[in-house]
């Protein structure tokens, strides 16, 4: 098992003076996986990445890459390479010399360097652009050059610091796909830092969610979405309606709960949260709610409310429905099937939900 873990972080901690940037960080990365560190800005994810790269020394803890303790090993001797947020293309070198940078002065023959540069550029679809000047590149091309320059070093782990944040939306979506494809083709471990949950979910095998220096949850995107370990993760990834709930009975696999608006139902226990006691919090994703003019049939729980707000997103429409006994309006999202659903502000509507869609989020943080 440990042989497959290309990176092992053991109780990593980083303090800047009194500020704790990263604390009690334990993480195992598998060889060949695409892993994302996701979190809001300032959560310490970049610091964590820079400690793996060797640009920052952990205050305490161990970093093991490919079975070797990295303590005292500087960035230029680690089997990792990094794609920087600004891409850091050397402005005084052309594309070919940028990509060849790491191979020069290492006793590699010129012919081999040329071949490897050509291959690397081919790989990022910049074939034949060796003599193009660094300042003549577009944002997307600069990113590809940065990728080629790192990958030519044949790193065991490629580190990417917000690699797509400088690109416009269209290009970003295309590069998401290409990066993922490249990673699967090469079989190299990619570790990406991002604040964009959609980016993380579309590209990664696993995601580590960070808040305030702590690694809160590590899971595959579908699990992270369906079984977030607490309120913070649930609200950071996707949208979520939160409800207080009271536990009436605990069973091995499920809980019987009552909520102010949906009444009593039996929901699945969330293995990612600690047993929450009697007062817990549950969440429902907006797209899991059925909205209709008449009471919907075949749902485990229903409630009635008034439409307060309509937000049109194109592919779907969000209705914010005010329900007695719930503080915030409940968001319900409906796919936009040629406007078959069309409610206006002030309309009285019914909401329906299956108990399988109600997520146990553990102890209610607002009451403790």
Told to check if 53 binds other proteins by CB under 8 A, we report: yes
Between CA 8 and CA 287, with CA 179 as vertex, the angle to 5 degrees is: 90
Given the complex with other proteins, which of 47 and 80 has the nearer CB atom? 80
Which position among 82, 233, 234, 358 is part of the footprint of other proteins (CB under 8 A)? 82
Given the complex with other proteins, which of 82 and 291 has the nearer CB atom? 82
Which position among 73, 84, 119, 350 is part of the footprint of other proteins (CB under 8 A)? 84
Going from the C-alpha of 182 to that of each of 123, 131, 284, 286, the distances in angstroms are 8, 24, 36, 34
Told to check if 18 binds other proteins by CB under 8 A, we report: no
**Long-range pairs of 72-81 with CB within 8 A, sequence gap ≥ 24:** 78/53, 78/54, 79/155, 79/156, 79/157, 80/52, 80/53, 80/54, 80/155, 80/156, 80/157, 80/158, 80/159, 81/150, 81/151, 81/153, 81/155, 81/157, 81/158, 81/159
Given the complex with other proteins, which of 28 and 114 has the nearer CB atom? 114
Which position among 32, 102, 238, 296 is part of the footprint of other proteins (CB under 8 A)? 102
Among 18-26, 81-89, 245-253, 357-365, which window interacts with other proteins (CB under 8 A)? 81-89
Among 101-109, 121-129, 235-243, 348-356, which window interacts with other proteins (CB under 8 A)? 101-109
Residue 2's contacts (CB-CB under 8 Å, 6 or more residues apart) are 8
Among 29-37, 80-88, 243-251, 308-316, which window interacts with other proteins (CB under 8 A)? 80-88
Is residue 88 classed exposed, middle or buried when 0-12, 13-18 and 19+ CB atoms within 10 A define those classes?
middle
How do beta strands 254-259 and 80-83 pair? Answer: unpaired
Which position among 105, 298, 314, 346 is part of the footprint of other proteins (CB under 8 A)? 105
State the binding string over 131-170 for other proteins (x if CB under 8 A, else -): ---xx-------------xx--x------------x----
- Shortest Cβ distance from residue 129 to other proteins (Å)? 17
Told to check if 75 binds other proteins by CB under 8 A, we report: yes
Told to check if 64 binds other proteins by CB under 8 A, we report: no
Which position among 3, 41, 72, 76 is part of the footprint of other proteins (CB under 8 A)? 76
Cβ 218 vs Cβ 233: under 8 Å: no
Among 14-22, 75-83, 272-280, 329-337, which window interacts with other proteins (CB under 8 A)? 75-83
Which DSSP symbol is given to 213? Answer: T
Among 63-71, 102-110, 124-132, 207-215, which window interacts with other proteins (CB under 8 A)? 102-110
Among 89-97, 190-198, 215-223, 268-276, which window interacts with other proteins (CB under 8 A)? 89-97
Backbone angles phi, psi at 344, to 5 degrees: -110, 165
Task: Give the count of residues interacting with other proteins (CB under 8 A).
Answer: 27
Told to check if 119 binds other proteins by CB under 8 A, we report: no
* Contact residues for other proteins, defined by CB under 8 A: 53, 55, 74-77, 80-82, 84-86, 88-92, 101-102, 105-106, 134-135, 149-150, 153, 166
């Amino acid at each position: 098992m440990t042989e497959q873990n290309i990176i092992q972080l053991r109780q990593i901690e980083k303090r800047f003076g009194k500020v704790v940037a990263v604390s009690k960080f334990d993480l195992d990365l598998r060889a060949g996986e695409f892993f994302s560190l996701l979190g809001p800005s300032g959560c310490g994810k970049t610091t964590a990445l820079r400690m793996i790269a060797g640009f920052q020394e952990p205050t305490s803890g161990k970093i093991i890459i490919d079975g070797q303790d990295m303590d005292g090993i500087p960035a230029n001797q680690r089997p990792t390479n990094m794609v920087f947020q600004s891409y850091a293309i050397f402005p005084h070198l052309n594309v070919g010399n940028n990509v060849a940078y790491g191979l020069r002065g290492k006793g590699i023959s010129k012919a081999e360097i040329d071949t490897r540069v050509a291959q690397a550029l081919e790989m990022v679809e910049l074939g034949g652009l060796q003599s193009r000047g660094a300042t003549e590149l577009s944002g997307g091309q600069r990113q590809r050059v940065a990728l080629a320059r790192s990958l030519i070093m044949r790193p065991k782990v490629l580190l990417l610091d917000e690699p797509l944040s400088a690109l416009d939306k269209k290009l970003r979506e295309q590069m998401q796909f290409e990066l993922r494809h490249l990673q699967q083709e090469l079989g190299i471990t990619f570790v990406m830092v991002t604040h964009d949950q959609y980016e993380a979910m579309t590209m990664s095998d696993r995601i580590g969610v960070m808040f305030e220096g702590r690694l809160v949850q590590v899971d595959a995107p579908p699990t992270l979405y369906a079984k977030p370990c607490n309120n913070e993760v649930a609200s950071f990834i996707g949208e979520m309606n939160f409800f207080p709930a009271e536990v009436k009975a605990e069973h091995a696999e499920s809980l019987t709960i009552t909520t102010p608006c949906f009444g009593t139902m039996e929901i699945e226990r969330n293995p990612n949260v600690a047993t929450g006691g009697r007062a817990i919090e549950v969440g429902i994703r907006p797209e899991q709610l059925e909205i209709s003019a008449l009471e919907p049939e075949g749902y485990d729980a229903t409630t009635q409310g008034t439409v307060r707000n309509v937000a049109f997103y194109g592919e779907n429409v969000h209705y914010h429905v005010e329900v007695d006994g719930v503080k915030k309006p409940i968001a319900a999202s409906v796919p936009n099937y040629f406007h078959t659903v069309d409610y206006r502000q002030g309309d009285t509507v019914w909401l329906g939900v299956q108990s399988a869609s109600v997520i146990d989020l553990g102890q209610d943080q607002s009451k403790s």
